[in-house]
Amino acid sequence: MKTILILNGPNLNLLGTREPAVYGSQTLADVQALCESAALANGFTVDFRQSNHEGTLVDWLHEAGALHARGKLAGVILNAGAYTHTSVALHDAIKGTGVTLIELHISNVHARESFRHHSYISPVAKAVMVGFGVHGYALAIAGLASMQDA
């Protein structure tokens, strides 16, 4: 069974209480449960993580690269939070590892402040999931499943 690595960046540990009008009322633990059942339904195991630290996310992408090289990774789903809009390091890590990666945002970043319109992740992502709320995580898992068959 291949693994989907789901990485969440800064402030996503606050889901549930953080700006519920933007991000909804489900907690990160709820999102993890949603991902685990969506992954199981699609025949994957899930490794779900969150960090507020850019370097930790870089290290985890390198781990994903090692799994990818061993044929054990279905792909990465990355909600890089605010690092999406700032991090050349995450861009380089994705490019350097060659992992199949879905960029995900709970909110529609393009309908928000202009500083959220640019992403350093999009040019190195296989696909982008934006604005479906936390349901986007399940949709991204289904999308990765369809890519395995392609």
The answer to whether 65 touches 96, Cβ cutoff 8 Å, is yes
Choose, by CB under 6 A, the member of 51, 65, 81, 100 that binds ligand DQA.
81
Distance, first Cα to last Cα, the chain: 17
Residues 92-119, buried b or exposed e (16+ Cβ, 10 A)?
ebbeebebbbbbbbbbebeeeeeebeeb
Per rule CB under 6 A, is residue 11 in the interface with ligand DQA? yes
**Cβ distance to ligand DQA smaller for residue 55 or 115:** 115
Quick one: tokens of 18?
A: 């953080």
The one segment of 44-52, 64-72, 78-86, 137-145 that binds ligand DQA by CB under 6 A: 78-86
**Cβ distance to ligand DQA smaller for residue 30 or 45:** 30
Number of residues that bind ligand DQA (CB under 6 A): 10
Say how far apart CA 39 and CA 44 lie, in whole Å.
5
Which residues, 105 to 134, sit near ligand DQA by CB under 6 A?
105-107, 109, 116
- Classified as helix, coil or strand, 53 is coil
The one segment of 31-39, 58-66, 102-110, 139-147 that binds ligand DQA by CB under 6 A: 102-110
**Cβ distance to ligand DQA smaller for residue 20 or 43:** 20
Say how far apart CA 66 and CA 20 lie, in whole Å.
36
Residues lying near ligand DQA in the complex (CB under 6 A)? 11, 79, 81-82, 84, 105-107, 109, 116
